[in-house]
Chains A and B, each alone.
Chain A
Amino acid sequence: MSTSSRQIPAKVGVRFPRILRSEFIKLRTLRSTWILLGSMLVLFIAFGAIAALASTGQIKDGRGGPPQSLGLDPVTTVLAGAGFALLIMAVFGVLSGAREYGSGMIRTTLAFVPKRLPVLWAKVVVLVAFVLPVAILAGLGAFYLGMAVLSAAGHDTVSLGDTAAQRVLVGTAGYITGMAIIGLALGMAMRSMPGAIATVIGGVLILPALLTALLPESWRSVLKYLPSNAAAPFTEVNVRVDLLALVPGVLVFIAWVVLSLAVAAWLFARRDA
């Protein structure tokens, strides 16, 4: 049998850096990417500033008096927007994983990269490249603006030199990025944006908190391994004795991220596209 005699130029062909570039262009050219990243940045900082104003009594509640004291430490106060940032980035992760299934573009993508798995790895790398810097920037923005508000009102502040502040700032950025990856993995595995958004928000973020509140104390030894509880040691200022220590918390959370990616990769490599 003769094969094609056409010469394929040596400089063309599929290589990982090219797949990375392709996935980068895909995210860059969607307006939703910039809307989600922008709203994460704005909400994270704005909520921190609002919480700081509220805690100094500069924002009154509906009865005209000062709001009930939040009673929180300065770092927790200024990072009040982290939860919103987390939700938005989890959705962003789902979008970057499931979106191509909604349009059918995934089959075009896989015709270009039939080996498949490099597409998933490239999506992860590009997602991290978009989310992590913005999460760090937003956390620092919230920190500086919030502390400025507290300082202006003569309240206690914490500097960036504080080890707990450093741990929480880095940890929160890592948590947000990790949750975005879990969102991406769920999006790739479930191939549906509504389903994966419901799962990541309901199952990964809300359910553990709900279970922790509802189940008896004896369950705590199991529940502390759930993603959001495992993240507490590096996203909360106060160390809680009923949860994991810092290093095990980090490792368990990373294990969740890796597990979700492993499931997504296993399905992605085997299923009909």
Chain B
Amino acid sequence: MIEVRNLTKQYGSVTAVDDISFTVHPGVVTGFLGPNGAGKSTTMRMILGLDRPTGGSVLVNGSRYRKSPAPVHEIGALLEAKGFDKARSARNHLIALAASAGISVARVDEVLALVGLAEVARQKAGGFSLGMGQRLGIAVALLGDPGIVMLDEPVNGLDPDGVLWIRTLLRALADEGRTVFLSSHLMTEMELIADQLIIIGRGKILADTSMKEFIDSWSSNRVRVIASDISALQGVLAGSAESLEADTHGALIVTGLSAADIGKAAFDAGIAILELTPLNVSLEEAFMDLTRASVQFHTGEVAA
């Protein structure tokens, strides 16, 4: 469990993280979502004690990370894809890090196999692709068999196979009861992987909710319907719908009823449904709406 309390980080006059509080729980995958520059990486660095908070505190499993007698058994982290020496082999990189925590070489070979780098383990890590670098970073994160796995943008640079692999891996880790905390700037990625969602924009928490609640609260309850007799259908639905309005294409936009409700009511009234479309807002749009005010770098309007 990670408990972040009133955490603030200022760089000069810029407030990168602004008094945020949240808790990351075990047994679920928690997504940390926000546009670039929102404060995700800064927050993660402060969780590990790499950056010193301007204010507030972080507790990892109830105590401060730097006080832990066995830090990498508490949190295994991937913070940057290229956080290794190019001249050293992947295996030696892991062996050197493992040594500092009393982790065996056998465990090193185990994680190398787990991330699919066993074949190239003795090659210089400098020759690795971005995706292989990410896998090496994930191997580092898993070395200590940690109770918390924290990954900053883990799918960056991974090919589709790799993306699928990491989703499966993170799900398995959460199912084992571990705390899984990962950041991304892509809602589409979070949708597929996260149970809990913490959205950050300009250093502030914009949402802290379950993925299901987030989807429910942002899906619209509107349905677009075209029927053989629109005016008759209007009459049928008038009592139960919140609102009915005709759109310019001769369709009826129904608010407050599900597609199933509308279909049944039309069937009972002998009206043929020609088209019935729930008008969902995509999560990407919802995320954009939520963070629009807080993105650091707006792209200008493209002149026509």
A residues in contact (CB < 8 Å) with B? 1-4, 6, 8, 11-15, 18-19, 21-23, 25-26, 29-32, 99-100, 103-105, 107-116, 270, 272-273
- B: contact size bracket: 35 or more
* Nearest CB in chain B to that of A102: its residue: B85
CA distance in complex: A30, B89 (Å): 9
Contacts of B61 in A (CB 8 A): 3-4
Task: Indicate which residue in A2, A29, A100, A112 contacts B71 across the interface (CB closer than 8 Å).
Answer: A112
* A13 with B52, Cβ < 8 A, contacts A25-B96, A104-B82, A107-B79 known: no
The chain B residue sitting closest to A103, CB to CB, is B85
Q: Given contacts A270-B52, A272-B45, are A4 and B82 in contact (CB under 8 A)?
A: no
Query: Is there contact, CB below 8 Å, between B26 and A29?
Result: no
A29 touches B88 (CB 8 A): yes
Given contacts A30-B85, A103-B86, contact A272 B100 (CB under 8 A): no
B residues with a Cβ closer than 8 A to A are: 1, 3, 26, 45, 48-52, 61-63, 65-66, 68-75, 77, 79-80, 82-89, 92, 95-97, 99-103, 140, 144, 147-148, 179
> In the complex, what's the smallest C-beta–C-beta distance from A197 to chain B, in angstroms?
17
Q: Distance in Å from the Cβ of B182 to the closest Cβ of chain A?
A: 16
A6 to B3, CA, bound (A): 17
Residues of B within 8 A of A110 (CB): 48-50
Q: Are B96 and A272 in contact (CB under 8 A)?
A: no
Taking CB atoms, residues of chain A closer than 8 Å to B71 are 14, 111-114
Q: Given A100-B85, A103-B85 in contact, is the A18-B99 Cβ separation under 8 Å?
A: yes
What's the least CB distance linking B10 to chain A, in Å?
A: 12
From A4, A22, A114, A116, give the contact of B1 (CB < 8 A). Answer: A4
Question: Does A14 contact B100, Cβ atoms closer than 8 Å?
Answer: yes
Given A114-B49, A270-B52, A1–B1 Cβ distance below 8 Å? yes
| Nearest chain A residue, comparing its CB with the CB of B77 | A111
Chain B residues lying within 8 Å of A23, measured Cβ to Cβ, are 96
Q: How far is the CA of A16 from the CA of B147 in the complex (A)?
A: 24
Q: B101–A14 contact, CB under 8 A?
A: yes
User: Quick one: closest B residue to A12, CB to CB?
Assistant: B102
A108 near B140 (CB under 8 angstroms)? yes
8 contacts between A and B (CB under 8 A): A8-B70, A13-B101, A13-B102, A18-B102, A19-B100, A26-B96, A108-B97, A273-B50
Give the complex CA separation of A11 and B95 in angstroms: 17
Q: Residues of B contacting A8 with CB < 8 Å?
A: 69-70, 73-74
Partner of A112, one of B1, B69, B101, B179: B101
B121 to chain A, nearest CB (A): 13
Give the shortest distance, in Å, between B68 (CB) and chain A (any CB): 7
- CB atoms of A114 and B66 under 8 A apart: yes
**Minimum distance in angstroms from B290 CB to a CB of chain A:** 29
Contact among A6, A19, A31, A111 for B87, CB-based, below 8 A: A31
Nearest A residue to B102, CB-CB: A12
Given A104-B82, A108-B84, A272-B50: A22 and B99 interface contact (C-beta under 8 Å): yes
Q: How far is the CA of A94 from the CA of B3 in the complex (A)?
A: 39
- Let me know if A22 and B96 touch, CB within 8 A: yes
Contact (Cβ within 8 A) B80 A25: no
Would you give the shortest CB distance from A204 to chain B, in whole angstroms?
A: 26
Q: Which residues in B have their C-beta under 8 angstroms from that of A103? A: 82-86
**Which among B49, B99, B179 has the greatest number of chain A C-beta atoms within 10 A?**
B99
In contact, B68 and A32 (Cβ under 8 angstroms):
no
Are A115 and B66 in touch, CB under 8 angstroms? yes
Set of chain A residues within 8 Å of B75, measured between Cβ atoms: 111
Complexed CA–CA distance, A2 and B62 (Å): 8
Q: Let me know if A104 and B83 touch, CB within 8 A.
A: yes
Q: Is B100 in contact with A113, judged by CB distance below 8 angstroms?
A: yes
Shortest Cβ gap from B40 to chain A (Å): 15
Task: A8 to B102: give the CA distance in the assembly, Å.
Answer: 12
A102 to chain B, nearest CB (A): 8
Bound CA span A19–B96, Å: 9
Q: Name the CB-closest residue of A to B11.
A: A272
Cβ–Cβ < 8 Å partners of B3 in chain A = 1
- Residues in A whose Cβ lies below 8 Å from that of B74: 4, 8
- Residues from chain B with Cβ under 8 Å of A111 in the complex: 48, 50, 71-72, 75, 77, 79
A203 to chain B, nearest CB (A): 27
Contact A114 B52 (CB under 8 A): no
Residues of A within 8 A of B179 (CB): 4
A14 touches B52 (CB 8 A): no
Given A18-B102, A110-B50, 17 further pairs, Cβ under 8 A: A3-B1, A4-B147, A4-B148, A8-B69, A11-B102, A14-B69, A26-B85, A26-B88, A30-B88, A32-B87, A105-B83, A107-B83, A108-B79, A114-B48, A114-B65, A114-B71, A272-B52
